[in-house]
Chains A and B, each alone.
Chain A
Amino acid sequence: MTSPLHQELIIMSETPSYIAFEEYSERVPASIPAAVQQATERFVAGRAARVGELPQWEELRQIGSDIRQHTLENLDIYLARLEAAVLSAGGHVHWAGSGEQARQIVLQIAQANSVKAVVKSKSMATEEIHLNDALEEAGIEALETDLGEYIIQLAGTGPSHIIVPAVHLTKEEVAALFSKHLGIDAPTDPTELARIARETLREKFLSAQMGITGGNFLIAESGTLVMVTNEGNGRMCTTMPDLHVAVVGIDKVVPDWESLTVFLKLLARSATGQKLSTYTQFITGPRRAEGEFGPKEFHLVLLDNGRSKILSDPVGRDVLKCIRCGACANVCPVYKNVGGFAYGSFISGPIGAILSPQMLGTQAARELPFASTLCGACAEVCPVKIPIPTILLHLRRRVAEGDEFSEPTISLPLRATAALASLALAWNWIYRFGARLLPAINPFFRRDGWLSGLPYPISRWTKVRPLPSFGSRFRQWWRARSAERKGEKR
């Protein structure tokens, strides 16, 4: 059973037209930050222990960052290589410009093969495009099989944490969900609950006709899909059904296997504090022989959905370097106090605060760049060195000044003032001229040596605190002071 507040937080099932971060964070039940902090503390400690074992950690981060940068800068070439390699391995490649196109592609594959039931392994890309809704609407059962995802699917809520999506639910709540949906009397022991899920889902794995997954990396060199999981449900989805469809963002490409070594060393250590996750699969096309298991058909859906547009912003594009470890969220003081729901989208925490505004538009997500203290902890732990605070500031500027998505949130006179100020700073003579001119206003506004009640837009400053009155200019003052001192010495 979920509390009414959890029900209210089903805001993530549709692409949001506006993310009201402030309002959502006020509605977050107190139990969520408590549970989320327990999880983040554990992951932060685990990460620190693994990082401490590797003296070359900082070098690995730098190389990881450099390779991600290089890949994005040459993305057209690497994607073309990837496509050719997947095709030559006997796989199918589909290009999806939008979420809607991706949904249609997956539905067509499912319908062409008379698929009734799909097993899914945890995937941010399919969350992003709301694939489950589309499948259910077409009468196809879409079952999440990661234990945490399975639980929140039963509960009908979104994820509260990227790695442990159901961490906000207690074992009693999980047991109640299992009892209600499976018609059994479920005990409240986590191990027993996991066993029940294993048995229930085992049957689904064996009978589903199609497995849908995301992917952690795509190797351009060989057309290989790399999937990292812990429970084994990812392996089930790619091994048992005859069809495997992977929906993967175009930003997931790595140049070659050598490059991949760097990211495999960075990912699990940053995410869960493991050296490697339990299962890492390297899938290059369909099975070769029937008896070896694995799918007869392999389909790769390459999802753009705004990513190619993000590349046009030279500052904001660094968000696409992300390898989805969640380390930034685990250290974020804001995230730890509100949890994943408040970010109103499939991705939360600092990375969500810089991705959602670029993906959904600065109008829909204009509160998110401000959902940060700019403390910089996120950038310190990011395994690929994404300058998250810099991008937050950049996006605040885009929100304030307006961009192709949104009207400016700062009024015209204020922007004009800011523009004048930056002109004055850029041109020395304007600055000096202004400095000569400004003391002339002193008599009109000065009270006890302070200026207050200046006209709009400066009033936005002076109604909070007065300005010191304009006096002599610094250089003038300095010359006069130096001359005085010389006089004293003599």
Chain B
Amino acid sequence: MTNPTIENIRRSLGRTDQSALSPRPAIYPPRQTESAAAEIDRFLREIKKLSGVGRKLSAGDVEPALRTLLSEQDIHTATAWDTAFLKQLGITEMLQAQGVKLVSPNADKREMAKCDLGITEADYVLPETGTLVLRSSYEKPRAVSLLPRVHLAIVRPDSLRADMHQVFAEAKHDHYLLFITGPSRTADIELTVTLGVHGPRNLYVWVQTPQ
């Protein structure tokens, strides 16, 4: 079946359906990685520049850090990705112990919209830009990092990648991929920077380090 748009393009370019693809120009190579410690420091510096709150912590620090966050942000309702790593950290148990109401991450969107806090992992992070990369599945629903007013991402050190090239090589066959670089922001009224216009207003990033 011939497609009129493609026909018109060929006519304009003087090509036919037999025309071959010319070789694509070479791409600029990805940036080189530094030592893991330097990369984590760089990542946390970028998060701070983006008005996020980043810190390193070991498994034992999770509970006190979470308690602080809950009181700082006045959290009553929360939802979290249903992943092995977050289960292993015991996140949902900690929340329940603090009296926080838990909503299933697969709940109806109106239920999810009532959550104060959404907790995810980051499947990859890019230190140079302070970017979290999130994949999507039934266990990792997209709304957890979108509807609640506070987003907490807990990062495993093995998720560091030097540049987006490596992320794409690993995840380009995913049906959905998301880069998050700082909290939701706008400068649409008199160029005044305002956080949390539609997405989360506060972004917390905790990078797990070995004990």
Q: In the complex the two chains form, is B13's CB within 8 Å of A279's CB?
A: no
Q: Which of A63, A74, A146, A264 contacts B21, CB < 8 Å?
A: A74
Q: In the complex the two chains form, is A294's CB within 8 Å of B136's CB?
A: yes
CB-based nearest B residue for A268: B181
Q: In the complex the two chains form, is B24's CB within 8 Å of A274's CB?
A: no
Q: In the complex the two chains form, is B5's CB within 8 Å of A293's CB?
A: no
Q: Tell me if A142 is interfacial: C-beta within 8 Å of chain B.
A: no
Which A54-68 residues have C-beta < 8 A from chain B?
56, 59-60, 63, 66-67
Residues in B with CB closer than 8 Å to A291 are: 105-106, 138, 141
Which B1-52 residues have C-beta < 8 A from chain A?
3-6, 8-13, 15, 17, 19, 21-22, 24-28, 30, 46
CB-based nearest B residue for A89: B175
Q: Tell me if B182 is interfacial: C-beta within 8 Å of chain A.
A: yes
Q: Which of B137, B143, B183, B188 contacts A278, CB < 8 Å?
A: B183
CA distance A304 to B196 in the complex (A): 36
Closest 7 CB pairs of A and B: A232-B199, A291-B106, A148-B188, A312-B12, A232-B198, A308-B8, A311-B12
13 examples of A-B residue contacts, CB within 8 angstroms: A63-B25, A75-B13, A171-B192, A222-B172, A231-B198, A232-B198, A239-B143, A284-B175, A292-B136, A309-B12, A310-B12, A311-B9, A311-B12
Q: In the complex the two chains form, is A288's CB within 8 Å of B28's CB?
A: no
Q: Tell me if A257 is interfacial: C-beta within 8 Å of chain B.
A: yes
Q: In the complex the two chains form, is B181's CB within 8 Å of A73's CB?
A: no
Residues in B with CB closer than 8 Å to A310 are: 12
How many chain B residues sit at the interface, stated as a range, is 35 or more
Q: In the complex the two chains form, is B129's CB within 8 Å of A76's CB?
A: no
Q: Tell me if B86 is interfacial: C-beta within 8 Å of chain A.
A: no
Q: Which of B185, B187, B189 contacts A171, CB < 8 Å?
A: B189
Q: Tell me if A42 is interfacial: C-beta within 8 Å of chain B.
A: yes
Q: In the complex the two chains form, is A146's CB within 8 Å of B138's CB?
A: no
Q: Tell me if A216 is interfacial: C-beta within 8 Å of chain B.
A: no
Residues in B with CB closer than 8 Å to A264 are: 164
Q: Which of B6, B110, B175 contacts A79, CB < 8 Å?
A: B6
Q: Tell me if A240 is interfacial: C-beta within 8 Å of chain B.
A: yes
Residues in B with CB closer than 8 Å to A70 are: 22, 24-25
Which of B4, B131, B179 neighbours the largest number of chain A CB atoms within 10 Å of its CB? Answer: B179
Which A199-225 residues have C-beta < 8 A from chain B?
201-202, 205-206, 221-222, 224
Q: Which residues of A contact B (CB under 8 A)?
A: 38-39, 42, 56, 59-60, 63, 66-67, 70, 73-77, 79-80, 89, 95, 97, 145-148, 151, 164-167, 169-171, 174, 190-191, 193-194, 197-198, 201-202, 205-206, 221-222, 224, 230-233, 235-236, 239-240, 250, 255-262, 264-265, 274-294, 302, 304, 308-312
Q: In the complex the two chains form, is A190's CB within 8 Å of B178's CB?
A: no
CA distance A164 to B187 in the complex (A): 7
CA distance A292 to B136 in the complex (A): 7
Q: In the complex the two chains form, is A145's CB within 8 Å of B105's CB?
A: no
Q: How many contacts A-B (CB < 8 Å)?
A: 238
Q: In the complex the two chains form, is B28's CB within 8 Å of A198's CB?
A: no
Contact mask B62-98 → A, CB, 8 Å, 1/0?
A: 0000000000000000000000000000000000000
Whole-angstrom distance between the Cβ of B78 and the nearest chain A Cβ: 17
CB-based nearest A residue for B200: A232
Q: Tell me if B59 is interfacial: C-beta within 8 Å of chain A.
A: no
Whole-angstrom distance between the Cβ of B25 and the nearest chain A Cβ: 4
CB-based nearest A residue for B184: A232
Residues in B with CB closer than 8 Å to A309 are: 8, 12
Residues in B with CB closer than 8 Å to A193 are: 189
Residues in A with CB closer than 8 Å to B142 are: 235, 239, 292-294
Whole-angstrom distance between the Cβ of B169 and the nearest chain A Cβ: 8
Q: In the complex the two chains form, is A280's CB within 8 Å of B165's CB?
A: no
Which of B10, B12, B174 neighbours the largest number of chain A CB atoms within 10 Å of its CB? Answer: B12
Q: In the complex the two chains form, is B141's CB within 8 Å of A231's CB?
A: no
Q: In the complex the two chains form, is B197's CB within 8 Å of A197's CB?
A: yes
Q: Which of A171, A240, A275 contacts B129, CB < 8 Å?
A: A275
Q: In the complex the two chains form, is A95's CB within 8 Å of B168's CB?
A: no
Residues in B with CB closer than 8 Å to A205 are: 198
